Amino acid sequence: FIVSFSANTRALFPDVVAEQLDEAFNIGFPIGALVTSPFTSLLLRRYRKRPEIYFSIALLGINLFGICTLIVHPLPQLLGAVLFGPTRTLLWACYFHFLAQPG
């Protein structure tokens, strides 16, 4: 996704806008993931036995990210770039947490 995001922004927007979006993604992805990790941990700890709750929250974030990336305008693309790290972190954490549950 990282390479395709950069290529898509360069195809859709002028070079200046594409550079700004690319930079926002390159900074927002790791920082967003890092900031989301403690909240994800608290969420999974609180709703340990309620996968429908934590997967619903992850699904909401993923759908919001998907909608943002489908809109061909710089502002939603920026929001999608910033949401990628948190949504990916949340989804993978929920997935592995669910797999680790007994029974």
Q: What percent of the chain has pLDDT over 90?
A: 90
Residue 23 confidence class, pLDDT cut points 50, 70, 90: very high
pLDDT at 67 over 90: yes
Q: What predicted TM-score, i.e. pTM, was given to this entire model?
A: 0.86
Rounded to an integer, the average pLDDT of 5-29 is 93
Tell me how far apart the alpha carbons of residues 99 and 43 are, in angstroms, rounded to a whole number: 16
pLDDT at 4 over 90: no
Rounded to an integer, the average pLDDT of 4-15 is 91
**Which among 65, 54, 67, 68 has a CA at the least distance from the CA of 88?**
65
The answer to whether the CB of 58 falls within 8 A of the CB of 87 is yes
